[in-house]
Structure formats: structure tokens, C-alpha cells
Structure 1
Amino acid sequence: MSTETSTPQRIAVGDVEIIRVVEWQGPFAPAADLVPQSAPQMWQDGGTLLAPDHYEPARGLAVMALQTWVVRSAGLTVLVDTGIGNGRERPESPDFHQRQSDLLGDLARAGIRPQDVDVVVNTHFHADHVGGNTTGQAEEWVPAFPNARYLLPAADDHHFGPGGGYGGGRSPDDRLMYEDSIAPVHRAGQARLWDGTLRIDARLTLESAPGHTPGSGVLQVASRGERAVFTGDLLHNPVQILHPSCNSCFCMDPVQAAASRRRILERAADEGELVIPAHFAGPGAVRVHRRGGAFGFDPAV
């Protein structure tokens, strides 16, 4: 398995090519706020595993990335999550409100046109994972990738959609997110809901891993004896590899999220899967290994 450090970053997993498209990377939030169950000592004990790529000790800030991953497999071009998007109304989320990103430009610089995308995978329905699904403006949103199937977790579609009361009325941003980033995909007939497992092709398989959201999932890659797993937001920061019982502040079902996290980490360690979370900064991916009864990791460089 090889990783190129040029821009954009490219990773090979057997015959599958993975391209990293970074929207933003840097200090994001107080570590104690992002992972409320964590203690300051956990971050300090992480040493150079966490700092400086994932933790800024001087200010106690977690370092994160907003990014999309492109997966090319046997002629298919697949996007894994689509970032925040442009001009979205997110009044409860100042970091996301009316943000201007350039996903389509970033993809073009990586040699990918909107019409080239065959599949869009949303690991879950949070605003920073679905915003690039559509393009346009106010009430005129249309799918950004006209030829793509959008694979949407059914449990999230119910929870965050009108059938579930737009997130059960938890947040006005949930309604706005669904209406500008998910509903237009349904109206265009490009949505496919899934649950449990879904085989995309011989190398790519979606698998439910609920807890962060009701329908959150992971994407497994297997080719020529090499493996990787896109974990979405099961992991926001590698401190959660060292302490897998610690959830992020965004996990909706903490008990279920921790169980899903541990299951995916155990498999990654046992089967040698490259772990590719949605928000890891630095190299963006890690190799997990067992460390006694716990886990350790090495940057995938």
C-alpha cells in the first residue's frame, strides 16, 4: 500500500485509488468540548501521536480537517461525504453558516468533473457531510452530480427528514440541512436508501455502524489482500482510538456509538484495515493495532 504526499494526496489500496480533497484543516474547538468524556491527561499522554497533527497543547484545541474522499474502483468514481457546501443557512452553526467552499473546483483540480461521479456516499446526515450534495441557491438546489446515485442511510433519512420531524425538532439546522442537501436528491430520483449492508461493487461495501446518528455507516474497501475503512464520524480525533469509550459531543446515542467504534477498531486492528475517518488532520489516515487490552495507532505516511 502506498501514499503520495503530493497535492492532492493519493492512496492506493490494491487496485482501488483514493484521493483526498481537503476543504480546510486546522485548530477547530477545545478538546474538552469536542470529546467531553476525555480528561486533559488523556490528551497530554498522547504525546506526539496527537500533537501537533491532532492536538494543539498550548491552547488545548483539537485539530481537525473538513474533507471529501474520492474512491476510484473498477471504473466507478465514488465520493465519500461532500463537506459543508456553499451558501447554506446554518444559523445555529457559525462555522458552517453561509460558508463558501469550492468542492467542485477542488475536484476539478484532481481531474474529476461533476458528470464523472457515479456514486455519492453520505456516511451520515450532518451538515458538514452532505452540504456538497447539491448546488444552486435558495429553493433552487439541484444535485451537484447529475449522473450519480446518492446512497443515503435509511435511518438518518427518516430521523432527519419530515417523517421524523426533521430531527425530532432538535434543531432548525436539521430541517434546513435536509431541505437544501437531501430533499433535492430525492426529487431528482437519484436517492437510494440503504440499511444493514450494501455492496457497491466487488471491492466496496457499506455497513451500518449506528450511534453517532441513527443510520451512520462505514465504507469498507478490499482489493488484492489490502483493506481500508472509511469510518465517518465514529472517530473525530485519534484520542478516541486510545480511549474508544469516549464519544464526541455530536454522538446521538453514546452507548451505541461507543459499541460501533470498538467493533470497527477491533476489526481494523485484526484485519489490517487502513482507518480513514472523516475529520482526521495530518496524513488523514492511520493504522490501528492492539496495545494490550487497548488500541494504539501509527500515522499512515
Structure 2
Amino acid sequence: MPTSPADRTDTTAAPSWTIGDLTVHRIDETALPASTGPWLLPGATPEVVREQAWLSPDFADADGILRIHSHTFAFETGGVKVLVDTGIGNHKTRTNPAWNDLDTDYLARLTAAGFAPDSVDLVVLTHLHTDHVGWNTRADGNGGWIPTFPNARYLTSRTEREFWAAQDMDEPRRQMFRDSVHPVEDAGLLDLVDVPAGGATIAPGLQLLPTPGHTPGHVAVRLTGRDGSALVTGDCIHHPVQFAHPAIGSCVDIDPAESEASRRRLLGSLAGTDTLVLGTHFPAPTAGRVTADGAAYRLLPVPPTAAAPAAS
């Protein structure tokens, strides 16, 4: 478990990628401390990382230590304003010091990118882990929590929600559900989606793809426009080192074998295509295209095409 808080991300722009008629914005929350990598992906030792020279300097440092970030993605499709995942959130009590009681300007960044909380129509949750649901809610000023996006429908897979409902959760996870999931459910804003093997279309050009293993109901999010497509990984792929070594899994994968199988299946379907892959925890440049590399894969980075100025 990381033992020190991260330095706050301090940029003044929301990087974006334009693919045909689609524009996807990265909404930064925070960089995570160097101790995150060894904890989260224990198989990605410095020796393993340094074998992949292409990971440095963007995705790992010269010593083979992974760079990992927390951010979300926002875009508009068919007139629907969509946010994929909601990060860690502010002022929430968490046992992980890197996530505890954050005070970031995430909402200002989101608003500056053109997605003020009241304007968001749809929030897609790839899964119900603490660092993906935090901005579901914000403090109400009276010790409670209210939905951050009051005019949005929040979506997650039915399998995901039903799995956690059946678990005897420890207190930290119960706390997360109390402050970041239950208020959305109590407001009647959470919709559960059945996601078959072929995926589920939830809005024009927007599809949920089943990628179970990290959690039973985990989904990746595919966005398709007239002249291109993009895919948000969620935690099916935490870091580009897993392109080279798909067998490297997360310490919190619920089913490691299924997680690896989902990762290999997803990478195989993307290799050699023009689909832009956007990693939920990938540091800058965050996006790229998948190419085959021997028996595994490699990410060919694609830098942002634009950066909208943040609110002053």
C-alpha cells in the first residue's frame, strides 16, 4: 500500500485528443506516489520494466519505477455529455494515504473543459472501486454527501453492483459505498446495465465491453464516431507495461486469471487497428495505439491534439 501522499497535479489545461468528429478530454485529478507501482503491480519489478526501453521516460523513470496517475475522461457523443469514471474525490476518509482527504481542483478542470457538473448527462463507471467513484458525490456542507452530477444518469454493470451487494465488505469499502455509491442510489440516479459478451450500446456511438477479472463486472468503454474510435481501459489495463507482459496483474484483481484473459483478448482485438487507447491510470501522454511486438504488444504513444485552457 502506498505510504505517502502524491504531489498534486498542477497543470492549467485539459489535454484532448480529436479523432474524426470525436474529442476526448483528459480531466486530471492527481499523480500518484512512486510507491503505487510496486504495490499495485508487484510483478512489474524494475528489472522487468527496464527491459522495455520504450516505457521510459514517459511511463516509467530510468530506474524502472512506474508512473501512475488518476484522471477521468469526458466527451460528447450524439449530443450527450459523458464522463467515464470519477476518480478519488475530495475530502473523503480513505485508508490509502495517497487517496485520503484530497483537495484538488478536479471540478474546476472539468468545468473548464466544457463539462460543468450540472451539464453532464451520463456518468459511466467502469467498476466500483474507490479510485473510480469518488467524484460521484461531493460534500453537502452538513457532514453528508450529495450527487456531484445531479442531472446525470450514472451507469455501471448489473454484475458489478450485484457482486458488491453480496459481499461482506470490510469497513473501508463500506465507507466508500456510504459516501460515494449509496447517495447516488438514494437519489434514484444509478442504472444497472446488462453487458453481454458482445457489449452493450448505451448511447449513440458508445458501448460497454465486458472485461471481467479485476472485478466481476468490469467494463471498458468504446467510443465510435464517423472517422475513428477510442477505447477507455478502466483497470483492465493499469499501465503500459502490461502491453509487454499481459500476465502482470494487479494485487487487487479479484480473479487474476480472468483479468489476464480479458487483457489479452482486449489487446488482441486492438492490435494493428486505428483505435485510440486511453489509459485510466496511464501518465502522459496517456493515449496511443496498440501494435504487436513479438508474442505480446506495445503502445505507440499519441500526444494530445489540443489543450483547452483551464478556468482562471
* Same fold (TM > 0.5): yes
Deviation at 1:155, TM superposition (A): 2.3
* 1:150 aligned residue: 154
Residue 30 to residue 88, structure 1, CA distance change in 2 (3 Å): closer
Gaps of 5+ in 2: 1-10, 304-312
Choose the corresponding residue for 2:91, options 87, 91, 94. Answer: 87
Check whether the contact 2:122–2:155 (CA below 8 A) recurs between aligned residues.
yes
Contact 2:91 2:101 survives alignment (8 Å): yes
State the superposition RMSD in angstroms.
Answer: 1.9
Tell me how far 1:287 sits from its aligned partner: 0.9
Residues 1:113 and 1:38: Cα distance change in structure 2 (over 3 Å)? closer
Give the one of 6, 14, 28 matched to 2:34.
28
Larger RCO, structure (CA 8 Å, separation 6 or more): 2
| Structure whose residues are more often strand by fraction | 1
CA distance in 1, matches of 2:38, 2:189: 40
Matches of 1:33 and 1:89, distance apart in 2: 20
Alignment map for 1:6-85 (pairs within 5 Å): 7-25=13-31, 27-29=33-35, 31-47=37-53, 49-58=54-63, 60-85=64-89
Question: What's the counterpart of residue 128 of structure 1?
Answer: 131
| Corresponding residue number in structure 2 for 1:249 | 251
Residue 27 of structure 1 and its aligned partner are, at CA, apart by 4.5
Report the secondary structure of 2:88's partner residue: coil
Following superposition, which runs of at least 4 residues in structure 1 exceed 4 angstroms of deviation?
A: none
Q: Deviations over 1:68-118 (max 9, x none)?
A: 11011121110011111111121x211112222232211122232111100
Structure 2 SS opposite 1:232: coil
Structure 1 residues without counterparts, runs of 5 or longer: none
Q: Which residue of 2 aligns with 1:117?
A: 120
**Are the equivalent residues in 1 in contact too, given 2:212–2:218 (CA < 8 A)?**
yes
* Contact map agreement 1:27 1:56 (CA 8 A) in 2: no
Matched, 1:102 2:101: no
Q: TM-score, normalised by structure 1?
A: 0.90
Tell me if the contact between 1:242 and 1:294 (Cα under 8 Å) persists in the aligned partners.
Answer: yes
1:225 Cα offset (Å): 3.8
Indicate the structure with greater helix content: 1
CA distance in 2, matches of 1:73, 1:142: 26
- The residue type paired with residue 34 of structure 1 is L
Aligned residue in 1 for 2:231: 229
What TM-score do you get using the length of structure 2 for normalisation?
A: 0.87
One-letter amino acid matched to 2:190: A
